[in-house]
């Protein structure tokens, strides 16, 4: 686990390539892209994890995370051919940044394997 770099990016304390922003979400380019398009959908309000989101019963905002991914997929031109959404949760899920986020990947045919 690394520190919450996403809160720092939201506060403007760290730079990022911002693709989209509204009152609820920031979408940035992943610093270590695993596909031609690799974006991170990050809630402005801090949630540690999916567990945290669900404990707080903020399901409307959780739904908006997927709607934001869908919207941005059109904005960046990957919607027609398709994309993959990934959510890493916890240690075994390989989550590194302790601030809820979902990955949006596309721009090429992605491999069939989810697990290396």
By rule CB under 6 A, what string of x and - marks binding of each residue 9-38 to ligand AMP? -----x-x-----------x-xxx------
What is the residue whose two structure tokens read 């567990």? 51
Task: State which of residues 18, 51, 96, 108 lies at the interface with ligand AMP (CB under 6 A).
Answer: 96
Q: How far apart are CA 116 and CA 90, in angstroms?
A: 17
H or E segment and range at residue 19: strand 18-21
Is residue 5 close enough to count as binding ligand AMP by CB under 6 A? yes
Q: How far apart are CA 74 and CA 82, in angstroms?
A: 10
Catalytic site includes residue 101: yes
Q: How far apart are CA 32 and CA 97, in angstroms?
A: 13
**In the complex, minimum distance from the CB of residue 39 to ligand AMP, in angstroms, rounded to a whole number:** 9
Which positions touch ligand AMP (CB under 6 A)? 5, 14, 16, 28, 30-32, 40, 88, 94-97
């Amino acid at each position: 686990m690394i520190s919450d770099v996403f809160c720092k990016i939201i506060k403007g304390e760290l730079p990022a390539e911002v693709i989209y922003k509204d009152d609820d979400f920031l979408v940035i380019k992943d610093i270590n892209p695993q596909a031609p398009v690799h974006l991170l959908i990050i809630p402005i309000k801090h949630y540690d994890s999916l567990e945290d989101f669900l404990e707080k019963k903020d399901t409307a905002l959780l739904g908006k995370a997927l709607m934001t991914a869908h919207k941005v997929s059109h904005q960046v031109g990957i919607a027609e051919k398709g994309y993959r959404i990934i959510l890493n949760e916890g240690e075994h899920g390989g989550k590194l940044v302790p601030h809820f986020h979902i990955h949006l990947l596309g721009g090429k045919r992605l491999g069939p394997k989810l697990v290396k």
